[in-house]
Amino acid sequence: MQLDQAKSGQSLNINEIPSELKSNLIRLGICEGDRVLCASKIPGGPVVLQKDLQEIAIGNSYAKLIKVEQCKS
Amino acid sequence: MQELKTKTINVALVGNPNVGKSVIFNYLTGIYVDVSNYPGTTIEITSAKINATEEEINRYQLEDFEIKLVDSPGVYGISSQNDEETATLTCVEQANIIINVVSSTSLSRDLFLTKQLADMGKPMILVINQCDEARIRKVAIDTKALSEGLGLDIIEAVAIKEEGLDSLKASILNTIHSRNSKIAQVKTGTLSIAVEKEIASYLDDCLTRSEALLKAENSSNEKRETIYKIRRQEVDELVSKVVSQQQFSKRTFVGHLLLNPIIGSITAALVLYLFLFQFLGVFIAGTVVDFLENSVLNTYYTPFVEGIVSQVFPVIKDSNNNLILEQPLAAIGTMLAGDYGLLTLTPTYLYALLMPLVLGFYFGLAVLEDSGYLPRLAVLVDGVLSKLGMNGRAIIPLILGGGCVTMATVTTRLLSSKKEKIITMALLGLTIPCSAQLGVIQGLLSNIGGPKPWLVWAGTLFIVFVLTGMLLNKLIPGDGGHFITDIPPLRIPRINNILQKTIIRSKVFLDEATPAFFIAAAVVGSLQVTGLLKLVIKYSEPMITEVLLLPKEVAISFILGMVRRDFGAFGLMDVPMSDSQLVTACVVLTLFVPCIATVAIMIKEQNFKIAMAIWLSSWFLAFGFGALLARLPLF
């Protein structure tokens, strides 16, 4: 599924990041294959991802481009 | 005689946004730079000398050296992706020694930059700052292993409490000493073998390692991704080795609540209500201003000055006649202590009204900034702002506009796309009142009393804001930029930093506003005593009385408002008006043209055409909505 469909509290596996976003997100600490927590989802707005102690908000338009998979923890 | 030779050693402070570079700069140089808890505070590069004591100069043999510390804008990496990165790159290239500052709470993010810097092969010291936050969050960092892994000396610090900064200074001086004397090895960080392979072919053509590295990174998207990925893996491996089990703390919990759509929105509404209405509107504009104006200045100062002036010159009030020709002496008296008196109204306005409001605004803003609330607000409003052609980042200039629209217009350069820059700029110029204006308006509205006039005023602005945003979003092609932001941890603001920031920002504002106000008072005063004011009022009267149904004296406010937004309120205080008229006047004044300084910045940041379009449309908006409001039976 796309990241914008994630729900708060879900544990996600990042499957695919479009190349225009890749280097930007790698710097912030997120790359393909990472496991992250969806800390919050604002309806019509950003998804907040948590990896370790870090939180990163990704706007809706970008979140649509990122493919994720819910992992069973 | 001994030859004096001073060599400059450049030391650059480099790090991610919001890790405490500016606090460290502040400590080492004694020079204050604006510090706040949101990314992108340092736009301009600040540099200053590090002063070494006599003893230090002897110990490290620094007689012939001048040490210059450079504070660079916070970046997540260096590859000229935006203005900040380009600026930081320049700092790094010119530096002899790099101090890389990272935060204990976001090592996996911050060390990415550390690795990139290490690959450049310059002498470097790593500072792990905000160590107290790691302790609170029960994060343990094995600094010895980290130091070995990176091949760098590590200083642990809590910069805001000045912990560890003395050892940082010693370490910097020692590095300079080792570098100069070539006795000891200077640590430059372990080079990554994998990255080395990637850049090997570029090394021969380039003068420096950093140049080769950047050339390799920028050669193609694939190459950059490969290098970034290697770096990311190395960092993640290292972090998993040196950082122990991480737990959630209460503050993370509160941080999450603020990002919850429902709780977050309620909190945001509450914060804005408390800050803008209760604190600025009721407390500052009401209680404090009333006290200063009526109980202090109008009781002691004004009558005293009027007494002195009127002993020498006659003072004539409420007169718009040409006094210069009729009574030259009275003209002087009236300019000094009359309706727009340079010695009476101007100081009252500046110190009883403007100063408390500016202080109040910057104080509130500092609290919001330092607590880390603003990025959370940006996340909450991103969805809404994206409907208006902007994104969450735009909330920062929009809120800063409540302090000074001109300064806020400068910060639109932090935004990424041209579309969002133009829309944010237009909304700032059209709908956001600056603190001085906000002050007078809050003062006027609190005279009526109750939340209703305030709601009508704020509601109208909100409607204009949303409509303008939607319209511009349709008209301007392209998209409003995408939103990716790092959310800093919530912090309990440090009172010293807040007070320092409040005072410095207010001082900058008032230093500029004070002479401008005296000039404005002199201009209006001379218009009055030459009888020109009467003419101005006469010709603009139909616009004011017919269209807006306001008393004709208000005309002068609008004319002044074109020069500086806050002057607009200058004459408004003393004109008797009905409740409905007051609210209309406040709305029109807010919507009316941005001041000359703002227009100049708009032209500089965008172009003349855009600035003029914003300026002219504010006429239509102000008079259109004013006329409408004046005819609505709200009061």
Residue B44 and residue B102 in one domain: yes
In this complex, which of A22, A45, A57 lies closest to B487 when CB atoms are compared? Answer: A57
**Tokens at residue B168, please?**
């940082």
Between residues A36 and B562, which one has the greater pLDDT? A36
Same domain, B165 and B268: no
What's the confidence (pLDDT) of residue B2? 46
Q: Which helix (H) or strand (E) holds B565?
A: none
* pLDDT tens-place string over residues B287-328: 888 899 889 988 999 899 999 998 988 887 766 677 777 788
Q: Is pLDDT above 90 for B12?
A: yes
Q: Name the CATH superfamily, with its identifier, for domain A3-70.
A: Ferrous iron transport protein A (FeoA) (2.30.30.90)
Based on the fold, state whether residues B336 and B236 are members of the same structural domain.
Answer: no
B576 and B531 within one domain:
yes
What does the pLDDT look like over B329-342, one tens digit per residue? Answer: 888 888 888 877 88
Find residues 9-68 of chain A whose CB sits inside 8 Å of chain B: 19, 21-29, 31, 39-46, 48, 51-62
ipTM of the complex: 0.93
Predicted local confidence at residue B320, as pLDDT: 67
Q: State whether B372 and B439 are in the same domain.
A: yes
Residue B406 resides in a domain: yes
- Cα–Cα nearest to B538, from B556, B524, B558, B522: B556
Same domain for B295 and B429, yes or no, is yes
At B619, which amino acid appears? W
Q: How far is CA B34 from its chain centroid?
A: 9
pLDDT at A63: 92
For residue B42, pLDDT over 70 is answered with no
Token duo for residue B610: 């855009």
Q: Considering its fold, how many domains does chain B have in total? A: 2
Residue B580 lies in a domain: yes
CA distance B232 to B127: 20
The residue from B219, B247, B275 where one domain ends is B247
Residues B334 and B205 in one domain: no
CB B506 within 8 A of CB B355: yes
Same domain, B213 and B72: yes
Helix/strand/coil for B265: helix
What residues of chain A lie within 8 A of the CB of B482, using their CB?
59, 61-62
Domain ranges of chain A: 3-70
DSSP for B196-240?
A: HHHHHHHHTT-SSHHHHHHHHHHH-HHHHHHHHHHHHHHHHHHHH
> Does B627 share its domain with B584?
yes
C-alpha closest to that of B251 among B372, B393, B102: B372
With beta carbons less than 8 A apart as the criterion, state whether B35 and B129 touch: no
What residues of chain B lie within 8 A of the CB of A48, using their CB?
Answer: 259, 379, 487
Rounded to the nearest angstrom, the minimum Cα separation between A65 and chain B is 12
Range of the domain at B329: 261-488+503-631
Same domain, B483 and B597: yes
Q: Hey, are the CB atoms on A45 and B383 less than 8 Å from each other?
A: yes
**Where does B295-372 have alpha helices with state H?**
302-312, 323-326, 328-337, 345-347, 355-370
Q: Is residue A48 scored above 90 in pLDDT?
A: yes
Find the angle CA(B436)-CA(B438)-CA(B440) to the nearest 5 degrees.
Answer: 70
Domain boundary among B247, B282, B317: B247
- In this structure, the answer to whether residues B365 and B396 fall within a common structural domain is yes
Question: Residue B135 is part of a domain; what is its CATH number?
Answer: 3.40.50.300
Closest CA in chain B for residue A54: B106
* Residue B214 CB burial class (10 angstroms; 0-12, 13-18, ≥19): buried
End-to-end CA distance of chain B: 86
CA distance B123 to B40: 26
The mean pLDDT value of chain B amounts to 84
pLDDT, tens digit (0-9, with 9 covering 90-100), for B204-248: 877 777 788 888 888 888 888 888 888 888 998 898 888 886 555
Given an 8 Å threshold on Cβ–Cβ distance, is A54 in contact with B109? yes
Shared-domain flag, residues B288 and B235 = no
